[in-house]
Chains A and B, each alone.
Chain A
Amino acid sequence: MSSTNIVETRGLTKRYGSGVVAVQDLNLNVHRGEVYGFLGPNGAGKTTTLRMLVGLIRPTSGRATVVDGTPGSAQSLRRVGAMVESPAFWPYLSGRDNLRVLARYCGAPEKRVKSLLDEVDLSQRAREQFANYSTGMKQRLGLAAALLKDPDLLILDEPTNGLDPQGMADFRELIKRIGQGARTVLLSSHLLGEVEQICTRVGVIAKGRLVAEGSIDELRGGSRLLIRATPSDRARALLEQEAGAENVALADGVFSVKLDPDKAGAVNRHLVEAGLEVTELRAGERSLEDVFMELTGTEGGL
């Protein structure tokens, strides 16, 4: 395993008895210290992957290394905190007592319970039964539970699911704060805005396969210029000379050219000097949503 990776999977595959392949040949690389977004539409295999990373389910084939150990091993779990799917706790216990149970399981000191309740802003309601908690409170308690071991790697599976817009915004701020410093956060989501705001690198999964991995800028394909010029055949020839054929695409009469927007003036001059009519020229960026839809071939889950 590469020393820069805290999570690494090679050929990870999960096939269920019914023949359904939930995850196929997954090669994931999560770097130490980053906030990694694991993006994919509903049913793409995100949760199955995360369950394999914490040892809740066993892969059919392939291997995974999580914080220098095999998933679910003592060596790995000691340094991993996770919230997989919706947080599950003992409903008859208070939020505080639920954390005290988990602190006993992992041998965490009792005083950590109190500090975590403060950190996730749950101290005021800590003595209420979990069964009476709102979705937001449950998510916060789940986050506190994941942080009990002061983990090197924090795995969060769609943590803002079911929250209202204000709750989502608050939760994102909380994750940003928690992800500062040396801690690595692996966050699965189907909410592109969320990932764009929080994450430094992204992996996109579709139909069980990793279809892209890299920084958000890399995924967007960097900066580009959008140009409308006629006649288009001559315009294409000139632009390909300028940027290379592989960096020029035409859609709806607009050329998308992978070029630094600073070069807009020079490109405009060349086109005009060649006798072309330029009716539109502007800097353009592919949104993560464009990239996501292109990669996953879906509009679902957005």
Chain B
Amino acid sequence: MILFAFRAEWFKAVRRPAIWVTIGLLLLLAVGVFYVVIYLVATHTTARVRLQGTDLASLRAGLYPGALVKKALGQANGLDGIFALILGVLLQGSEYGWQTVKTSNIQLPGRLTVLAGRLASLALLVLIMVLALFAVDALASYVIALVDGKSTTFPAPGDILRAVAAALLILGFWAAFGVALATLFRQSAMAIGLGLAYGLVIETLVFGLLGGLGDVVTQVHVWFPIANGTYLLQAFGADSGNGGGAVAAVPTTPEADATHAVLVLLAYVLGLVILSGALTRRRDVL
């Protein structure tokens, strides 16, 4: 039955323009902003101008294939995460907007089966998004290295695989967060709004303001998702300060290691899936 539901959900997803526009836009931004724009800045900025927190040489070095892992993971907790959230909301929230929740639930026995099929479909889309991000980043870095006459050597395949897994986990959290919010509010607009607010402001703001209160706040913060995404990225040496809203509130030296981060993020994904399942199963379809 889950296979039936997955086939139906996947059939819908691959034919939905909004899904591919979302993924395509993210890839465009990943290359356009984080390679092309930075390359132009690094190439055409006068030597007197010093960019905040970095210099032109290290900015340029970050564009070469050797820095692929660091670069590709740089936005996992920021822009990429927000786009994964949007994917989750698109898949779940639209069903409420179109009232197709009733249509699918009447056809197939089991609301949870429908949800399981949808989540499997979403997981596959997030995997495609992550792989595509790494692919376009790799291509962009290779071209820049060729133009600059620098080394085109990529990091070891094992390192890249581990980075893909880390990105998958972080983006998986964001996508599951999107599904849970859309299920909770039974709509897309509220889910995207609150998801964005949390990702860009809430965790950052709260812990940023409370940061001065000492260890107790830090010990609480190590159980929050954005902080743990950042700990995981920092284990890869990723420059995670580019976009993740909450990153600024996380100290440069991680308060928790990668294992802690992975376990906490997995717990969040599981918790959000259970929450979505409980709401789907329990509530009336109006």
What is the CB-to-nearest-CB distance from A148 to chain B, in angstroms, rounded to a whole number? Answer: 7
A55 to B101, CA, bound (A): 12
A84 to B104, CA, bound (A): 12
A51 to B15, CA, bound (A): 30
Whether A101 contacts B102 by the Cβ 8 Å rule is no
Contacts A54-B106, A57-B285, A82-B106 given: A105-B8 contact, CB under 8 Å? Answer: yes
The A-B contact count (CB < 8 A) is 78
A54 to B103, CA, bound (A): 11
A82 to B105, CA, bound (A): 11
The reply to whether the CB of B110 lies closer than 8 angstroms to some CB of chain A is yes
A105 to B100, CA, bound (A): 13
Whether A91 contacts B284 by the Cβ 8 Å rule is no
The reply to whether the CB of A77 lies closer than 8 angstroms to some CB of chain B is yes
A87 to B107, CA, bound (A): 13
The reply to whether the CB of A140 lies closer than 8 angstroms to some CB of chain B is no
What is the CB-to-nearest-CB distance from B157 to chain A, in angstroms, rounded to a whole number? Answer: 36
A217 to B244, CA, bound (A): 72
Whether B11 contacts A100 by the Cβ 8 Å rule is yes
Whether A58 contacts B4 by the Cβ 8 Å rule is no
Number of interface residues of B (CB under 8 A): 26
Scan A114-157; emit 1 where CB is below 8 A from any B CB, else 0.
Answer: 00000000000000000000000000000001001100000000
**A interface: dominant SS:** loop
Number of interface residues of A (CB under 8 A): 33
**B interface: dominant SS:** helix
Contacts of A106 in B (CB 8 A): 4, 107-108
Chain B CB within 10 A, most for which of A57, A88, A148: A88
Whether B98 contacts A93 by the Cβ 8 Å rule is no
| Chain B residue with the shortest CB-CB distance to A52 | B284
Whether B107 contacts A90 by the Cβ 8 Å rule is no
Whether A97 contacts B7 by the Cβ 8 Å rule is no
Contacts of B11 in A (CB 8 A): 97, 100-101, 104
Whether A102 contacts B8 by the Cβ 8 Å rule is yes
The reply to whether the CB of A61 lies closer than 8 angstroms to some CB of chain B is no
The reply to whether the CB of B145 lies closer than 8 angstroms to some CB of chain A is no
Name the interface residues of A57-93: CB closer than 8 Å to any CB of B.
57-58, 72-74, 77-78, 80, 82, 84-85, 87-93
A57 to B106, CA, bound (A): 11
A interface, CB within 8 angstroms of B: 51, 54-58, 72-74, 77-78, 80, 82, 84-85, 87-93, 97, 100-102, 104-107, 145, 148-149
> 3 tightest A-B contacts by CB?
A74-B109, A88-B99, A104-B8
